[in-house]
Structure 1
Amino acid sequence: MFVLEPVDEDVISRPKEFIINNGGHIWFAKHPTLGVIGACALAKKSEGVFELTKMGVASNARGLKVGEQLLQYVLTLAPSIAHNTLFLLTNKRCEAAIHLYLKNGFEHCKETMNKYGSAYERCNVAMRYTGKT
């Protein structure tokens, strides 16, 4: 859906350096026959403030609800990690993902857009986790 931006290439090619070593976390979804089919990360922005990022599911596993299961798993851990703020940045073309985020407790947030939205050229949607569904 997008051209990878330099920040994407950095994080994807060196996740330990850009996520783990900075206090973030990465989870993978593994299918018994398809192998690793999904990933999701929480990137630390400041103490108790994390961005849900690099969430994706392999095209051959779409429709298996892997993204939703992975997101819900991460959200069970998030309160102890992102105890101040959990947010995400995306694009309005990601309609299915936005629906998933809304269904699982995220809300559109102009404040988050103003503060973090410039991190990606493609970003025109910012959401913050409220836990309300």
Structure 2
Amino acid sequence: MRILPYTDALAPDFAAINIGWIEDMFVLEPHDRHVLAHPREAIVARGGTILFAAAEDGAIIGTGALMPSDPGAVELTKMGVLPAARGTGAGRALLAALIAAARDMPGIQTLYLLTSHKCATAIRLYEAAGFVHDADIMARYGAGYARCDVAMRYPL
């Protein structure tokens, strides 16, 4: 498995993977639609990062992003792995690469994520990586998604 940086050619994979898991469990929200339709504008051009996990054959099997929200803060967002690739370590590899990328971003003091209790497997992955549940993050950013009832912070 390889971790690849964003290119415009991979934008359809970013959208398809995320639309798949969001529609499987929730409803696409206006913010989702904007970010997935315009990843360069919504994430990359604002100083964020989008990464992809590629299988040995080069097929994209997962993706995740770091989206700047406030000065000094970045949201880990739009992270998903294709159903057929779950359990392969792609999520763990993406998460580790995204945490490393956040550490390398100048001026970032807060790395956080917003999710739902319905994403129990993902929450366990985040907890194992060192994310902690955080009421302040929920209060500051949780209203951004109707489906959000879990907010976590990573101690950078």
- The TM-score normalised by the length of structure 2 is 0.80
For residues 47 and 108 of structure 2, the distance between their equivalents in structure 1, rounded to whole angstroms, comes to 14
Cα deviation, residue 48, structure 1: 2.3
Output the amino acid matched with 1:53: T
**Structure 2: runs of 5+ lacking an equivalent:** 1-24
Match of 1:3 in 2: 27
User: After superposition, what is the alpha-carbon deviation per residue over 1:90-128, rounded to whole angstroms, capped at 9, x for unaligned?
Assistant: 000100000000000100000000000000000000000
Q: Are residue 101 (structure 1) and residue 131 (structure 2) matched?
A: no
Match of 1:38 in 2: 62
Match of 1:63 in 2: 87
Q: Are residue 12 (structure 1) and residue 12 (structure 2) matched?
A: no
Tell me how many residue pairs correspond in the alignment.
131
Output the amino acid matched with 2:127: L
Output the amino acid matched with 2:86: R
**Structure 1: runs of 5+ lacking an equivalent:** none
More helix by share: 2
For residues 43 and 97 of structure 2, the distance between their equivalents in structure 1, rounded to whole angstroms, comes to 18
Q: Percent identity among equivalent residues?
A: 45
- Deviation larger for 96-105 or 27-36: 27-36
Cα deviation, residue 60, structure 1: 1.3
- Deviation larger for 15-24 or 116-125: 15-24
Q: CA RMSD in A?
A: 1.3
Give every structure 1 segment of 4 or more consecutive aligned residues whose post-TM-superposition deviation is greater than 4 Å: none
Matches within 5 A, 1:63-102: 63-81=87-105, 83-102=108-127
Q: Which of these residues, 120, 127, 131, is aligned with residue 152 of structure 2?
A: 127
For residues 57 and 26 of structure 2, the distance between their equivalents in structure 1, rounded to whole angstroms, comes to 28
Cα deviation, residue 47, structure 1: 2.4
